Amino acid sequence: GENVEQHPSTLSVQEGDSAVIKCTYSDSASNYFPWYKQELGKGPQLIIDIRSNVGEKKDQRIAVTLNKTAKHFSLHITETQPEDSAVYFCAASRVSGNQFYFGTGTSLTVIP
């Protein structure tokens, strides 16, 4: 089955700096890669996703890059703000179903 690894497990940045979280996957058949943000006491919420036919996608301060050859994808958050503090999860899935394989999460702290 698919194995998704995520690094780092914790990340602290100063407000206004950038944050980068990296994930690798093992199954070359995976072709959908979402990123979820989970705030304390809440369920994960999708913040951005990318499909395997695209190398990069941006949405305001958030961007995701995908390298299919190397089987890794990354989340980039620029101009971080305190409200970006949360746990971020990467995931991988095949198009055939809603079975997602999640990374173990990155706890991001943005220091004001």
Residues found near another protein in the complex (CB under 8 A): 1, 32, 34, 36, 41-46, 49, 89, 91, 93-105
Q: Could you identify the residue written with the tokens 């409200």?
A: 83
CB of 12 or CB of 99, closer to another protein: 99
CB of 92 to another protein, least distance (A): 10
CB of 80 or CB of 105, closer to another protein: 105
CB of 20 to another protein, least distance (A): 19
Contacts of 74 (CB under 8 A, 6+ apart): 20, 21, 22, 23, 64, 65
CB of 40 or CB of 70, closer to another protein: 40
CA proximity to 89, closest of 30, 38, 18, 24: 38
Our measurement of the distance from residue 6's CA atom to the centroid of its chain's CA atoms, rounded to an integer in Å, reads: 8
